[in-house]
Chain A
Amino acid sequence: MSSKQANRQAITLKGSTKTVTEFFKYAVNTILFQREVYPTEDFTMVKKYGQTLLVTQDPALESYLEKILKQVEKWLLTGSVAQLVLAIVSKETRTPLERWVFDIKLIEQPPDSKERAPPKPEAEIQSEIRAILKQIISMVTYLPVIQEGTVFNILAYTSEEAEIPAGEWVDTDPLAIEAGKSQQVKMRSFSTDVHRVDAMVSYRYEPEQ
């Protein structure tokens, strides 16, 4: 019975990881589109989570994100990644302009394994994800307009013990926005049976403006 349970948990973990990774993919795409990091022509509409979302068609960008997300998924499975940050920095000056922070937490199962919480319905998870994505889209109304060309970077906050494929991931600085010049907004979160993802954005904001 316990092995079955472990099995089910493993399956749930995998499913949850997949959900979370997928969410990242669409969230990153949405942010890249909304913040115009890449030209809008690069994006095409797809239906996901019951709404129309934009994903990039640029093969280079797609494969780049694919590689990153594959690794993130691996880390999620082992519980080694705690935070994923999509940092948008100015192309010229390299100053970070925005940081979209996705916090990942493992939901602790109640120790009482007899009584398992009913698995969270897919629809509910989807609607939570939808809400976050809609929120991201709506953020553009008050996020400062980005005039210059930007580049993005995905940072993964992992634990020490995380397995890092050699040569693929490197340590880097957090690309933090200058203190005193940033504003933060906490966004919605969603959770699966296993993971909980919180979203937050902090952006560079010059007080004089």
Chain B
Amino acid sequence: MQPKTPTRHRARSDVARTPLTPSIISGLNNVSIGSTFAGSPKKQTGKTSSKSSSSSASVFDTTNPFIRPPSRAQSRSRAGSRPGSRPASPVKFVSSSTIPVSEDLQRQAGEGVIRKGGIESRLDVVTRDYVPPPKSEPKRSRSTPASSRDRFITMRDPESEVAATLEQMSLNPVSASPGHTARLIEATGVPLNRRILSYHEPPPSTSVDNTLTKQLECVKPLYARPGSVSTSTGATTNKTRKIPTQPERVLDAPGMVDDFYLNLLSWSCQNAVAVALESATYIWKADSGSVVQMGEAPEGSYVSSVEFSGDGSYLGIGIGTGDVELWDVERGTRMRVMGGHQSQVASLSWNQHILTSGCGDGSIWHHDVRVAKHKVMELLGHSGEVCGLTWRSDGELLASGGNDNVVNIWDGRVGDVGEGARGNARWTKRNHTAAVKGLAWCPWQPSLLASGGGTNDATINIWNSTTGARLHTLKTPSQITSLVWSPSRKEILSTHGYPTNSIMLHTYPSMERVAEIRDAHDSRVLFSAIGPAGDMVVTGAGDENLKFWKIWDAKSAESAKKKKDDGERRTNTTNPHTLAIR
């Protein structure tokens, strides 16, 4: 199915002005602005005389409008009529025969009801004009019947301008620009055989155009300052940031379940993407593009969550029945099944050798995958399904979010005391008013936890897990389905469901919206994962598409400036082969 991509054309309309070329500017400097008019009268007279000889001689002369056709006595006098004038407006002459006024029109102009004629009729169209010596009758344009020499409108169209006879030229004192009128009064160089014509319709107006308003609305965000446009389609960016509104790649994901509570997408540090489609799990190797199936849920059940281990060698699959399967990615074999949960395992998170699972009944279990008795600990802190679960990269804390709108931050120490439940969470936050599925630890500031609420809430809260304080809060327009911090920039990305189906990018700590890709999918963007390079984010939705977006730049031999410490703290990765406890 084709995802809605209304942004396709918008990207192109991001226009850059053509840079100035030095040569042009210098050329312009040479053009004396208006200075040619200093001596204009003289020039004109000089010119007009030469004008009479050849029509093309005055080509180089700035005073274009003053190029009179040969034998224009008037032009000379007119030239004289403006001694020492500043660079005057070029066009002063008005063909005497074409003064378009009639009393009818004037009346209408007064009332302001002129249907046709647009600006021209509303403007003070008539300007004076001088009466040329009785040399020739102004020729009438062929458009008006030759017979109508009076000052009335042609039969055809009562409102159209009328070629007036000399007699009807009237001086209209209410001119749009009085100076203009005054000038024209003196203007004596009106060539009779010139007409100034304008198309009878006014040009289409810009703002009132209904057919365009929708487009304008759509495109506005491209030119809006971040945050200034609340409803936007396409990508809003500040001036320096460009987010492609089109995904880099789209993969087909038939059968992807449109369930908010599940977590069906995971991207390993070995650049493999695991996606669960109904009952089957597939691994797509980003490097080779190959797809491998990783098993199938038992009959009648479905996969409810997938999560790669820190080193990418193992894949945990949570099943709707409550089982947690462990698969060897390399060999593609299932290593073990860890059962026990009473309902679907909708969330999984790895902490080295511990695989933590969040259950539909609100319980959180730690599984030590190395030992036979895998369940090493149980955390009971939710009364609703645990849909968000994420370990901090150093393994100190575990954050969990549930359908009971609660965010719990648990101590990460596991299992020293055997099987007993640890008791209470270190912090319990009840600020959200909807299910908390989006949870993410900040890679560069380990104490920060971002949590996002569902439809009713749609708020991102940033917590300090050390003090328990809420540092920032940001209301978004729609249900938050996941959160991803940028490893390279101080930004956080949120994916949304109802109603915008968008992907939004915010700066931290200002929480300013940097970009938004609206309608990133045709349905709610439910799942997301960040790639090991830190530049691509894959999103999945019920529209059965997996879209890869290039949001940031790849981390390449990155300095530790942004991150507090070296590579050990990379999100989703821990040093392989060091399964020892920190």
Which residues from chain A sit less than 8 Å from chain B, CB to CB? 34, 37-45, 51-52, 54, 58-61, 64, 67-68, 71, 82-83, 85, 89, 93-96, 99, 101, 103, 105-108, 131, 134-135, 137-142, 149, 151-189, 196, 198, 200, 202
A178 and B199 form a contact (CB under 8 A):
no
A176 and B89 form a contact (CB under 8 A):
yes
The answer, yes or no, to whether B64 is at the interface (CB within 8 Å) is yes
A179 and B86 form a contact (CB under 8 A):
yes
B91 and A179 form a contact (CB under 8 A):
no
In the complex, chain A residues whose CB is within 8 Å of the CB of B194: 82, 157-160
Interchain CB contact (< 8 A) of B195 among A149, A171, A196: A171
Task: Report the minimal beta-carbon distance from A122 to chain B, rounded to whole angstroms.
Answer: 22
Number of B residues, CB within 8 Å of A: 91
**Bitwise interface map of B from 127 to 156 toward A, beta carbon under 8 Å scored 1, else 0:** 100000000001101110000000000001
**Bitwise interface map of B from 237 to 262 toward A, beta carbon under 8 Å scored 1, else 0:** 00000000000000000000000000
A157 and B196 form a contact (CB under 8 A):
yes
In the complex, chain B residues whose CB is within 8 Å of the CB of A139: 28
The answer, yes or no, to whether B339 is at the interface (CB within 8 Å) is no
Main secondary structure of the interface of A (DSSP, over half): mixed
Question: A168-B200, A173-B94, A180-B88 given as contacts; is B143 within 8 A of A160 (CB)?
Answer: no
A186 and B119 form a contact (CB under 8 A):
no
In the complex, chain B residues whose CB is within 8 Å of the CB of A34: 17
A42 and B82 form a contact (CB under 8 A):
no
A172 and B125 form a contact (CB under 8 A):
yes
A141-B20, A177-B177 given. 4 additional CB < 8 A pairs? A135-B24, A135-B27, A170-B160, A172-B161
9 interchain pairs (CB within 8 A)?
A: A44-B12, A108-B54, A157-B195, A158-B195, A160-B195, A164-B143, A167-B143, A177-B177, A179-B82
**Bitwise interface map of B from 322 to 364 toward A, beta carbon under 8 Å scored 1, else 0:** 0000000000000000000000000000000000000000000
B161 and A54 form a contact (CB under 8 A):
no
Main secondary structure of the interface of B (DSSP, over half): loop
Closest Cβ neighbor of B222 among chain A residues: A41
Pick from B64, B82, B183, B219 the residue with the most CB of A within 10 Å: B64
B142 and A164 form a contact (CB under 8 A):
yes
The answer, yes or no, to whether B415 is at the interface (CB within 8 Å) is no
Interchain CB contact (< 8 A) of A156 among B123, B197, B211: B197
Closest Cβ neighbor of A62 among chain B residues: B204
Pick from A85, A105, A131, A202 the residue with the most CB of B within 10 Å: A202
B199 and A168 form a contact (CB under 8 A):
yes
B203 and A64 form a contact (CB under 8 A):
yes
Within 27-68 of B, Cβ neighbours of A (below 8 Å) are at 27-28, 31, 33-34, 36-37, 54-56, 59, 62, 64-65, 67
Within 200-219 of B, Cβ neighbours of A (below 8 Å) are at 200-207, 209, 211-212, 215-216, 219
